[in-house]
Structure 1
Amino acid sequence: MGNSQSSLPTYYNADPTNNARSHSLSGYVDLASAAMGASVERASDERFGAAANLIKAGAPGAAGDAWVTRRHNPTADWAEIRLGSAGTIAGFDIDTRGLDGEQAAAVSVEGRVAGGDGAWQELLPKVEISGNARHQLALWTETADAFSHVRITLHPDGGVARLRVYGTVVVGPPVEGETDLASVTSGARVIAASDDSLGARDNLILPTSGDASTQGWKTRRAHAPDHNDWAIVRLAAPGFLTRLSIDTRPYDGDQPVSAAVQACYSDRANPERDPECFWYQIAPRTELSANTLHDLEVTLNDVPFSHIKLVIHPDGAIARLRAYGQRVNDVEQEAAREDAEASAEAALAAEIGLADSTPAPSTDAEDTAQIDLVVAEAIEVVVKPKRTDDQPHRPKKSKKVEKQQLMSPAARPKKLKPKRQAEDSGRASPPPTQFSSRAGELIQSLTSPVPQRKRARTRSHAEDDLDNAPANAADAKSKRTVRKSKPRSKTDA
């Protein structure tokens, strides 16, 4: 079948026999399916059948399960459809099964570019169709533009049961944080399955929930011992998986007995053809219940994977499979941002430390000498405890350090917080000096600018002993705070 309005055909019949299991459009996604989130926005006429029937997921049934308009239209009837996801278009399936004599004489399809000026562009020229048939028409070249809407026109009137718009999803900006990497709207694809005779394997990754109309992946009954069926999903992008979800709704009696999930990393589209690919079991074999959403934890959530394999025992139906996680690229970008922030903080800390490390000059030589004398006496006579073998060793401090610690706040040089100082110098800051009550009173009376009017309360021997006890060496060291990265994933269901 060619294009009668052009010297060069723009499409061809991908399935002339009308019963091929695989053809040139088999690997594409139906962008106009209600299961993808598509919707009919408006139609010129729906006298004998709603235009919403065009986007139903299942095969057409009786004559009422189609879009059918009234007769004798002097112009043409049309229906506009918003696609479930914007994407490039590779072909169409115009299905008239169930219509024999009520079908339109010919149809054409136009599209509206996503984010464009709203103008309609011809995608499929006017094509004659017949009743009780599928017209699977593939474009010779997949469109370069991504389309968000299509409009099908009946010439002049009549009916069409289903319209499939096959294409490739154009993925939008990545979602920050955890996302479903096994969703078709994110770019995932089901690339292989052991069997899908009773339910298409592509249903596993549809964005909508499974119900009686959309169904899921369903295999034939197998009576052989130790039988299992499987389906392989190529994730939207390699990522770190955090949790899985297996949905058996709306199956009650058709669900498998149990299921397990494996994962691998491969650069090939189909890892079954990669001899170096190794499958890891990331979710153990779990018993499945009817009409239930099963949430499974991932055991290897710190390893990146590109594909997952759902294995069911022995056979049955699964409505949806979800694989939540973070893309590897997103995690790497997040780590790079945190490294840049840490470097900037370290540079700022170094700059501040260089500016604040110079001690303020003393303005009174006599006061400085007096403070040095008091400090020396306090350290030599009162403060210095006798070290026992079971006490940790504390390094000695110079008089200059002790003097700076005992100076009044106005004359004391600014000090970095322990965290900043430790990050800047790479060394632990010296532990603070501890004084007994008598030494503290003596030093404070000599260094304070205002004489004390009240005598400090009498302290007990227990409090003095507590003050004289040496500080723990581990507490004296400034610990560098390790910057924790944003968690790769959420653990909420």
Structure 2
Amino acid sequence: MAARPIQEKTGKLPDFVQLNDLACETTGAKILFATDDWFAVAENLLKRVAPQWKAEDFTNFGKWMDGWETRRKRIPDEVPDFPSRGEKMGTAASEQEVEAIRKLKSEFWTELVPMTILQPGYVDTCHNYLPAKQLKRWTHIRLNMYPDGGIARLRVYGIGHRDWSAVSQEQTIDLVAMTNGGVCLGYSDAHFGHPKNIIGIGRSNVMSDGWETARRLDRPPVLKADDQGILQVPGCEWAVFKLGHPGIIIHVEIDTSHFKGNFPDSCKIEGCAISPEEEKQRITMKWKESLRLKWELLLPITKLKPHQQHFYSIEMKDIVTHVRLTIKPDGGISRLRLLGHPCTLSSINL
């Protein structure tokens, strides 16, 4: 078996890395402009998968790099007089492209992260976590690299924003989707894949674009099932999500695509309505069980099948702001969809 790469301990990471990666190719992010793409193109910054290192691979422009790498800068000013961008690699922005991008006046945009010294790309120093100075809604960002060099990946963590004033309360919408403001706020285990993946855009293309836990070691040596075929095991795994907007859920989709030998045996979904203050308290407590927080059962314990979309209609009367997905005993899910009607905040009795 190949050696596993060294992984950082979750406890050492800042809290914001649990939020959605809004600058990723799978969320629709795109590179609009780059001053130079000589060794490797800027589009690599947005790849979902971790960067690779291929020691023996070279291109016509130098070492093959799975990231964005510019040539070594040798003249002042921002954009030297290079030939047309062409096939991107081995080129720089053309005069026409530079002139077009100047209309955005991005040099006058709000600074989110000041000029910061970055660490070299070794296993124990390659990740640089930088908090944003202003928490507002943004649609575009500009990454400045001084004076030149290479960056493997750019991750922009945050929460999606939707104009809910344009959405009718009669409209059916996926309330937990990341594009609608849904976000994962807690989980029990994310050994092979983070639960925030399951509220992503579209259907997953690979198993890694989903939530997958480690195998639980508290399973009995001999498994038994009840009359409905549901395994009777003591352990479970869970993930908590905040909806993009409070609402009433009427349809549920659980997709286990790509999980053929490692899908959960069963799942259930619960909901609750809590205030922002109580949400902060629960995050601090890591969503530990409490008598004060009572979860309402939305989808009862339900048997799941491998590599398949599961659709359920539920009868729900109460408005919820948060949901908890529980799987037994462990395994992976590629997507979670919670279709429902958004409700006004004033209608929540908190």
Give the TM-score normalised by structure 1. 0.50
Contact (CA 8 Å) 1:248, 1:289: kept in 2 or not? yes
Amino acid at match of 1:142: Q
Query: In the TM superposition, what are the counterparts of 1:9-408 in structure 2 within 5 Å?
Result: 20-62=11-53, 64-75=65-76, 119-132=108-121, 133-139=126-132, 141-143=133-135, 145-174=136-165, 175-176=167-168, 177-212=171-206, 215-225=209-219, 226=233, 227-267=235-275, 268-269=278-279, 270=282, 272=288, 275-298=291-314, 300-329=315-344
Q: CA RMSD in A?
A: 3.0
Aligned to 1:98: none
Structure-2 change in CA distance of 1:214 and 1:146 (3 Å): farther
Q: Could you say what secondary structure the match of 2:196 adopts?
A: helix
Q: Could you say what secondary structure the match of 1:203 adopts?
A: helix
- How far 1:252 moved relative to its partner? 2.8
Structure-2 change in CA distance of 1:331 and 1:242 (3 Å): farther
Identity of aligned residues (%): 29
Runs of at least 5 residues in structure 2 that lack an aligned partner in the other structure? 1-7, 55-64, 80-103, 220-232
Cα distance in 1 between the residues matched to 2:77 and 2:326: 50
Equivalenced residues, count: 276
Cα distance in 2 between the residues matched to 1:24 and 1:278: 25
Range with greater deviation from structure 2 (166-175 or 288-297): 166-175
Contact (CA 8 Å) 1:73, 1:156: kept in 2 or not? no
CA displacement 1:383-415 (0-9 Å, x = unmatched):
xxxxxxxxxxxxxxxxxxxxxxxxxxxxxxxxx
CA displacement 1:345-377 (0-9 Å, x = unmatched):
xxxxxxxxxxxxxxxxxxxxxxxxxxxxxxxxx
Structure-2 change in CA distance of 1:73 and 1:24 (3 Å): farther
Give the TM-score normalised by structure 2. 0.69
Cα distance in 2 between the residues matched to 1:25 and 1:312: 25
Q: Could you say what secondary structure the match of 2:254 adopts?
A: strand
Cα distance in 2 between the residues matched to 1:330 and 1:266: 11
Amino acid at match of 1:164: R
Cα distance in 2 between the residues matched to 1:307 and 1:18: 27
Amino acid at match of 1:150: I
- How far 1:73 moved relative to its partner? 4.8
Q: Which has the higher contact order (CA 8 A, sep 6+)?
A: 2
Which one has a larger percent helix, Structure 1 or Structure 2?
A: 1
Shift >6 Å, 4+ stretches? none
